[in-house]
Amino acid sequence: MALRKQSVVPYLFIIPALVLFSVFSVYSFSLLTYLSLFEWDGVSPIKQFVGLGNYWSVVMHDAVFWRSFWQAGTITAMALAFQNSLALILALTVNRRIRFGTFYRTLFFLPPILSEIVVGLIWAWIYDGNYGIFNECLKALGLGQFARSWLADPKTAITAVAVIHMWKGFGWGFVIFLAGLQTIPQELYEAATVDGANAWLRFRHITLPLLMPVGVVVSVLTILGTMQIFALIMATTQGGPAFHTEVPITRIMASLLGSSRLGYACAQGIVFGLILLAVSLLQMRLSRGMNRATA
């Protein structure tokens, strides 16, 4: 009897989590899938069943939706290349136990905990074409010919948004990389130093291979976070100018609120989720191959 009671107790603790998961994930996804099969405005009774018609329209005819993927992919590629590189460099620097290391840890982690709306509004002021501080700095450096309204210019809008997003998000990668670095045994570095390995060789043969799993986690989080960027876009460009900073979630919200096509927006959301899932699985598979190659 005591053994049976002991075996049941652990399951009682996970019941609240299972309930929350069932309500907010399983039920929500099931309802989303059901609604995607109808042409519905979200107000009138659900009547017009279209089957896979919404999916066909999304995949074959919604050029703006796919363009939003390309633009989100552009921001993601820049984040993977520059944001994560900056996070790793800063983590390597702080991990060397420099002076004021605790202060730098706090400073670098401030941007991620700030509200995206607040960050977007501040950077919109910085980029402003009339009184923005960025243009004023360019003029002070004698580069006034490059001054422009950075968020309103189709040539620079997506890059300007990407810079804001990278500034906002590098702190997450910094903290995760720093935690990963602190798990690497110092004895490995000491032995390599005794064998005559310089800093580059220690980084290449010790730090990089052992940090690879952490890098995969940071990369996956970067992809998922960047592809789901929304509040920052709404606070700066609202998807403009002329859809040049439109991303999948802003496109889905436009279908939902702007066109009152809730069923179609549900289909867009499912297609978007499946693509994110496929990208994540592909990246994890590639990372496993890299881990085997470096092992």
Question: What's the pLDDT tens digit per position in 167-188?
Answer: 999 999 999 999 999 999 989 8
Percent of the chain with pLDDT over 90: 37
How far out from the chain centre does Cα 150 lie?
22
pLDDT band at 291, cuts 50/70/90?
low
Strand partners, 39: 48
Enumerate helices (H) and strands (E) in the chain, giving the number of each.
15, 2
Residue 116 has pLDDT above 60, yes or no: yes
Say what the pLDDT of residue 163 is. Answer: 95
pTM above 0.95?
no
Q: What H or E segment, with its residue span, contains residue 124?
A: helix 116-127
Whether the pLDDT of residue 72 is over 70: the answer is yes
pLDDT band at 127 (very low <50, low <70, confident <90, very high): very high
SS3 43: coil
Does 50 have pLDDT greater than 60? yes
Name the CATH superfamily for 52-294: MetI-like (1.10.3720.10)
**Residue 284 confidence (pLDDT) above 80:** no
Q: What is the C-alpha to C-alpha distance for residues 73 and 43, in angstroms, rounded to an integer?
A: 34
Identify the band that residue 295 occupies on the pLDDT scale cut at 50, 70 and 90.
low
